[in-house]
Amino acid sequence: MDVEQKVVEIIAREQHLDPSAVKLDSTFAELGIDSLDGVNILFALEEEFKIDIPDAVAQNMKSVRQVVDSLTRVIEGKDISDLVEMAKGGTAATSN
Amino acid sequence: MRRVVITGLGVFASTGRNVEEFFGNLTEGRSAVRRIRQFDPSELTVQIAAEIPDYNPADYFPQKRLDLIDRFSEFALIAAREAMQSSGIEVRDEERPRFGVVTGSGLGGVHTYDNGYFNLYAKQVTKLHPFTIPRSMHNAAASQICMEYGALGPSLATSTACSSSNHAIGEAFHRIKFGLADIMLAGGSDAPITFGTMRCWESVRVLASGNGDPSRACRPFSADREGLVLGEGAAILLLEELEHARRRGARIYAELAGYGMSSDAAHITQPTVEGPARAVRMALEEAQLNPEDIDYINAHGTGTRLNDATETRVIKEVFKDRARRVPVSSTKSMHGHVMGATGAIELVATVMVLDRGVIPPTANYTQPDPECDLDCVPNEARPARVRAALSNSFAFGGLNAVLLVRKFQ
């Protein structure tokens, strides 16, 4: 399974963008992805890959590359405690 | 005292997708009730409703927007667009803090809840869609309208069952009258036609069955009435402080002159006579009018045994000798009971009565009921010079709201 290709496909689908507009180096800001859109994309990714993305990791996903890297590690069952650590002190994914 | 006028009208209903089509069908006595098409209703006892025919959300919104809005907000936005357009208003940036939105909804985003809970309980998914809350919350319609038009002023949502949008309009009216705002979009929307909601209403035993002849199912005030028919839709009105409207040379449809609200404090479903009567009197008092000045009443007129008989007693209680001479029609006979939107939809009809001088009939009237011995304008529209009119909403829960509009002079 090509994680990168699938991530791009899902981001494009959820944002109603042409897949060619979603690059590995695109940031969420560049793609017009706000906090609520981000939550929506995470939901779609979790459904697609049948995984749980911890909130702490989710908060750190601000670019396509970060999503692909984090997701790959979650899928491969690798230790993600550094990502969780990194997220501490970060802002919540949504407000209210 | 500041006066409040109605300068924009918008409606999106089963009987019409805009004000002209809507009022045209009402005066023709055309019912929009039909067999439900949004889902297969075969398992239901009651298989009919007043749905918006051939509604395709993509005709009105880009897909990205639709992801985030429930059907009830879509209807509200579409009605708000017509209200804004018909008013010709262009709100200036410095006016935005005094421009607000109040919408009523009985059920909120029930389609979103319905889908979500179906997935949760029947399909046993472990996660619900993250847009479930922003789509379904009752204030979503008001918030979406605020965002579309940059309304920064006093804004809220009301939920008082069948009175929701009369309360919304009344509250918006008072915001302007008492100096807290100058421009308000107010009304309501509901989209209650889901399998779950139909089952809920079936269990109350107030729905007309009429599966064999849907368009004749709702027969308010008629001796053979069998109950109400659920409908969907929205209506939004633009309310404006009189001098503000004058300065910009606005077309004034009518003056909103009275708002009465009361609580029965008696029973969770059965209406009293005294509660609604107090609301009617309050609306008259605020407008400083007498029963003799009222030339038309758009009834709550749900078509249930109890409502129509009680409403008749309410009108007699307040109007005394005039009760049997004032025309009273129930347009729910055609657009169904649109729950939290129904008051706003009926106020648009009532404003059009003042504007056009034609009273839409109570459709499907077959035989007089001694308990409903009012002039309910049976089956045929009637030309009439109407100076002032009332629109009644008496809700489950006994929270009543009555609006009074009069010709602007």
Number of domains making up chain A:
1
The model's confidence at residue A87, banded by pLDDT at 50, 70 and 90, is low
Burial-class residue B61 by CB neighbours within 10 Å (0-12, 13-18, 19+): middle
Residues B350 and B209 grouped into a single domain: no
Residues B239 and B380 grouped into a single domain: no
Is B21 an interface residue toward A (CB < 8 Å)?
A: no
Is B133 an interface residue toward A (CB < 8 Å)?
A: no
- CATH of residue A33: 1.10.1200.10
Q: Is residue A92 part of a domain?
A: no
The last residue of a domain, from among B217, B247, B277: B247
Residues B282 and B178 grouped into a single domain: no
Residues B301 and B156 grouped into a single domain: no
The pLDDT tens digits for A20-36 are 999 999 999 999 999 99
- List, in sequence order, every beta strand (DSSP E) within A26-77: none
Of the residues B167, B300, B335, B376, only one is catalytic, namely B300
- List the domain range (segments joined by +) for residue B136: 4-247
Residue A59's pLDDT is 82
Residue A1's pLDDT is 59
**Best residue in B67, B119, B135, B147 to probe A by mutation, most A CBs within 10 Å?**
B67
Chain A: closest CA distance from residue B67 (Å): 9
Give the SS3 label for residue B360.
Answer: coil
Catalytic-residue membership of B337: yes
List, as one string, the DSSP characters of B79-144: HHHHHHHHHT----GGGGGGEEEEEE-SS-SHHHHHHHHIIIIIS--S---TTHHHHHSTTHHHHH
- Whether B130 sits inside 8 A of A40 (CB atoms) is yes
**Token match 């791009």: residue?**
A8
Length of chain B: 409
- CATH of residue B151: 3.40.47.10
Among chain B residues, CA nearest to A52:
B127
The last residue of a domain, from among B183, B212, B247: B247
Residues B20 and B169 grouped into a single domain: yes
Q: Is residue A13 part of a domain?
A: yes
pTM (2 d.p.) = 0.94
Q: Is residue A12 part of a domain?
A: yes
The pLDDT tens digits along chain B (409 residues) read 899 999 999 999 999 999 999 999 999 999 999 999 999 999 999 999 999 999 999 999 999 999 999 999 999 999 999 999 999 999 999 999 999 999 999 999 999 999 999 999 999 999 999 999 999 999 999 999 999 999 999 999 999 999 999 999 999 999 999 999 999 999 999 999 999 999 999 999 999 989 999 999 999 999 999 999 999 999 999 999 999 999 999 999 999 999 999 999 999 999 999 999 999 999 999 999 999 999 999 999 999 999 999 999 999 999 999 999 999 999 999 999 999 999 999 999 999 999 999 999 999 999 999 999 999 999 999 999 999 999 999 999 999 999 999 999 8
Percentage helix, strand, coil for chain B under 3-state DSSP, each rounded to 5: 40, 20, 40
**Using a CB-CB distance cutoff of 8 angstroms, which residues of chain A are in contact with residue B63?**
16
The last residue of a domain, from among B200, B223, B247: B247
Q: Is residue A61 part of a domain?
A: yes
Q: Is residue B339 part of a domain?
A: yes
Residues B306 and B229 grouped into a single domain: no
Q: Is residue B139 part of a domain?
A: yes
Among chain A residues, CA nearest to B135:
A36
Q: Is residue B254 part of a domain?
A: no
Among chain A residues, CA nearest to B62:
A16
Q: Is residue A96 part of a domain?
A: no
Q: Is residue B252 part of a domain?
A: no
**Using a CB-CB distance cutoff of 8 angstroms, which residues of chain A are in contact with residue B131?**
36, 40
Residues B235 and B344 grouped into a single domain: no
Residue B346's pLDDT is 98
Residues B165 and B201 grouped into a single domain: yes
- Whether B63 sits inside 8 A of A16 (CB atoms) is yes
Is B134 an interface residue toward A (CB < 8 Å)?
A: yes
pLDDT at residue A92 is higher than 50? no
- Whether A43 sits inside 8 A of B67 (CB atoms) is no
Length of chain A: 96
Structure letter (DSSP) for residue B380: S
Amino acid of residue B75: F
pLDDT at residue A90 is higher than 70? no
- List the domain range (segments joined by +) for residue A34: 3-87
Residues B217 and B276 grouped into a single domain: no
Number of domains making up chain B:
2
Residues B122 and B149 grouped into a single domain: yes
- Whether B67 sits inside 8 A of A40 (CB atoms) is yes
Residues B177 and B326 grouped into a single domain: no
Q: Is residue A94 part of a domain?
A: no
What is the interface pTM, i.e. ipTM, of the complex?
0.79
Residue A57's pLDDT is 82
Residues B241 and B108 grouped into a single domain: yes
